[in-house]
A and B are shown apart, each in its own frame.
Chain A
Amino acid sequence: MSPISRGFHGRRHGTVDPLRVPPGQYVTRDFPVLSAGPTPRAHLDDWTFTIDGAVQSSMSWSWSEFSALPAETVTKDIHCVTKWSKLDTTWRGVSVDVLFEGVTAEGAYITAWSDGGYTTNLPLADVRDGKAWVAYEYDGQPLAPEHGGPARLLVPHLYFWKSAKWVRGLTLTVTDEPGFWEGYGYNNYGDPWREQRYQGD
């Protein structure tokens, strides 16, 4: 047990509303940038978004095709496994439900994969029915590269490592395939309300 450092709070201030903020989290006003590697710099001319793997037939969109898809603006709270939460974040993007129109899934899991090699896995059910987006705007502006631009996955009901930055596609799988952090001891599912940070939580 570490001794308490008298007077240390970190960057955290004030009390948190337990109805809004999951256990063990604190609210931040800034937007910390966390990354496992260099920020990819995508060229929109070469950018594509693909749904493939265990599907009847793959789908792929160029940036101009993707930008023409019906989009929506949503305001969500986000929760990082490193304990910060940011409330009322506003995003604009395409609902994953729109992307799956016309896709016949033959697997119950997905691996989201990104430029730079990052991956994360989720049950397909956790990105359907209004639970997930591929977002390309944050706070009314094009999504900045350090926050995952040109587009990132947005899955606010799970810890934010599941909201893969620089996302380029979702690959459906028949078996659940642990992604980057999941393979290093982080929880396979990642529900912040049950504080599922690490394997075994």
Chain B
Amino acid sequence: MEDFTVDGNALAGALAQSLGRDVTGERGTCGHCGKASLVAELVVYPKAPSPVARCPHCGDVVMVVTEISDTITVHMDTYAM
């Protein structure tokens, strides 16, 4: 069974609502492997309690976006934008 993934474009709405700008075309550096990637190209696992974005190079978690009680929180301790 293929893993269900989409790309960072799927997070664009929540990110835009939280950060106040579209970030899909911006680059971030993975805190685990040091390589850069476009937000649009992150590997996103949408079928999770909250969507989880992983680095397309090393696969480690770089971002988790939660929408809890109408508050969007973008956790990106391991993704430097």
Instruction: Report which A residues bind B (CB closer than 8 A).
Output: 32-39, 81-82, 117, 144-146, 161, 181, 184-186, 198
The answer to whether residues A35 and B3 also contact, given A185-B68, A198-B69 and a CB cut-off of 8 A, is yes
Determine whether the beta carbon of A35 is less than 8 Å from that of B49: no
* B79 at interface, CB cutoff 8 A: no
Dominant SS among interface residues on chain A: loop
B50 to chain A, nearest CB (A): 6
Residues of B at the A interface (CB closer than 8 Å) are 1, 3-4, 45, 47-50, 52, 54, 59-61, 64, 66, 68-69, 73, 75
| Closest A-B pairs by Cβ, 4 of them | A36-B52, A36-B48, A184-B64, A198-B68
| Closest chain A CB from B78 CB (angstroms) | 12
A6 to B29, CA, bound (A): 44
Question: Is A184 a contact partner of B54 (Cβ separation < 8 A)?
Answer: no
Interface residue from A39, A144, A146, A184 paired with B66 (Cβ < 8 Å): A184
What are the residues of chain B within 8 A of A39 when measuring CB–CB?
A: 1, 3
Known A181-B49, A184-B66, A186-B49; judge A36-B61 contact (CB<8 A): yes
Give me 24 A-to-B residue pairs in the complex whose CB atoms sit less than 8 angstroms apart, sorted by A's number. Answer: A32-B47, A33-B4, A33-B47, A34-B48, A34-B49, A35-B45, A35-B48, A36-B45, A36-B52, A36-B61, A37-B45, A37-B52, A37-B54, A37-B59, A39-B3, A82-B49, A117-B60, A117-B61, A181-B49, A184-B50, A184-B64, A184-B66, A185-B73, A186-B49
